[in-house]
Amino acid sequence: HRLPCLKSPEPAGIKTQKGIKSPEPSGIKSPRALKSPEPEGSKSPPRVKSPPPIMSPKRVVSPPTVKSPIPKPPKVLSQLTAEACEGSVRMSCVCESSVGEVTWYVNGRRLSQSSRFEMHYSEGSCSLLIHDLTDSDQGEYACEMTSEGGVSKSSFSFKGQVFQSIHKKITAYREQQVALKGENLPPDV
């Protein structure tokens, strides 16, 4: 009867050995788990390479080079305006400094430099001074700016209320000057 009792633990001992072997395959699997991130790491560099198609700036640069040979008319930066400037009227407008010639017109008639009409141009700033303003100076004034690319125009309607308000300022200025001269006369006499 003792013999069967001795035999029964033996197979149990054999099973435990099998149990010892079972963790070994799991240990073999663990290095595979370590290898799995490696292919992911190898994939990441291609993702880094994808941004280099930053070719778009070159496309953006190309249109200006196409446009550059075609000169444009001068751009008007500030439209023509009129204001009282002491005893005269000053009309002015501002354009790009690439202007070659500036011409002034009143009612479609070209103005020429004279004792009453004084024209100035400096680095894109065009101005016309009208001395001894009279009612006949009312009309449509235009400043024509010419460059290699063409002609730009800025016009101003110098009549009606605009003309009257500036005319009043100039008249008041002249009267003030006359009054000041009159005040200065007594000491001289």
DSSP line for 41-107: HHHHHHHHHSS----HHHHHHHHHHHHTTSPPPPPEEEEEEEEEETTEEEEEEEE-TT--EEEEEET
Q: Are 132 and 46 in contact (CB under 8 A)?
A: no
Lowest-confidence region among 38-47, 70-79, 144-153: 38-47
Average pLDDT over residues 140-146: 97
Weakest-pLDDT range from 64-78, 86-100, 104-118, 149-163: 64-78
Q: Which of 14-28, 46-60, 89-103 has the highest mean pLDDT?
A: 89-103
CB-count exposure of residue 95 (10 Å: 0-12, 13-18, 19+): buried
Q: How far is CA 122 from the centre of its chain?
A: 24
Q: Which of 131, 174, 140 is nearest to 159 (CA)?
A: 140
Can you say whether the dihedral through the CA atoms of 155, 158, 159, 165 is positive or negative?
positive
Q: What is the DSSP letter of 170?
A: H
In this predicted model, what pLDDT tens digit does every residue of 125-138 receive, in sequence order? Answer: 999 999 999 999 99
Instruction: Look at residue 106 and tell me whether its pLDDT is greater than 80.
Output: yes
Distinct helix (H) and strand (E) counts, the chain: 6, 8
Judged by DSSP in three states, 117 sits in strand
Q: How far is CA 79 from the centre of its chain?
A: 19
Range 64-73 average pLDDT = 67
pLDDT at residue 189, as a whole number: 46
What is the pTM (predicted TM-score) of this model?
A: 0.60
Grade residue 34 by pLDDT with cuts at 50, 70 and 90. low
